[in-house]
Amino acid sequence: MKFETSAEGETSAFGRFLGAQLQRPVTILLQGDLGAGKSVIARALARGLDVPENVPITSPTFTLMNQYSARLELYHFDLYRLADAEELTEIGFDDYAYGKGVALIEWPERLDNRDFDHLLVQVERLSAECRRIELSARGEEARTLLKSVAQWLTRAEKSIFSGSATKNALTP
Ligand SMILES: Nc1ncnc2c1ncn2[C@@H]1O[C@H](COP(=O)(O)OP(=O)(O)OP(=O)(O)O)[C@@H](O)[C@H]1O
Ligand SMILES: [Mg+2]
């Protein structure tokens, strides 16, 4: 399933919606080039999951993982600087990816094994302000999420993704 956003606020609105939908443990992979918008989605998703507004969501570039308490525990990974798979073992990656809370993983390309259920979110930069977002699901929980996003897009199409008046009202 694919859609396009034409401003950061629209990508954030998607992230926030996805975060608000999360009810059960799930792993979400955020894939895309440098500057695509993975962290924009991650920050919005954290708010949708009710990480309090006064808690800053920073990129775990050097720590590899930041943990937040919200409706579900959130484990935010950024694997860009991952040197080898042993580091993953050290931070207990398997425990998170296999269903403790919400595992949100930027740069999943660094993983040599994706043998777990997940929602894959691919972000592609089309121009300075436009992004194409493509979702694919593996497993029941991810499929449920994908379906709710599809329904939300149908509802939102006439408001968020057209006309700046409503767009601004919905921008988190
Ligand atoms: N439609 C859009 N959606 C998301 N981000 C957008 C959009 N238009 C412009 N941007 C800008 O693109 C940048 C995305 O940065 P972000 O840090 O989210 O990228 P990233 O994928 O996490 O990159 P990195 O791998 O370097 O961490 C931000 O500066 C944001 O303002
Ligand atoms: Mg990032």
Domain count, the chain: 1
pLDDT at 158: 53
For ligand 1, say whether the CB of 110 is within 6 Å of any of its atoms.
Answer: no
Domain holding 57: CATH number? 3.40.50.300
For ligand 1, say whether the CB of 79 is within 6 Å of any of its atoms.
Answer: no
Distance 13 CA to ligand 1 centre (A): 14
For ligand 1, say whether the CB of 129 is within 6 Å of any of its atoms.
Answer: yes
Q: Which residues contact 78 (CB under 8 A, 6 or more apart)?
A: 39, 59, 60, 61, 64, 106, 107
Task: Name the closest ligand to CA 33.
Answer: 1
Q: What digits encode the pLDDT tens for the residues 60-116?
A: 988 899 999 999 999 999 999 998 888 888 888 888 877 779 999 999 999 988 889
The domain of 133 spans 2-170
Instruction: Tell me which residue has its CA closest to atom 16 in ligand 1.
Output: 37
Question: How sure is the predictor about 52, in pLDDT bands with cuts at 50, 70 and 90?
Answer: very high
pLDDT at 167: 43
Q: Are 19 and 169 in contact (CB under 8 A)?
A: no
Q: Give me the residues paired with residue 142 across strands.
A: none
pLDDT at 37: 98
Measured distance CA(100)–CA(98) in Å, rounded: 7
For ligand 1, say whether the CB of 8 is within 6 Å of any of its atoms.
Answer: yes
Tokens of 86: 């042993």
Tell me the chain's radius of gyration from C-alpha atoms. 15
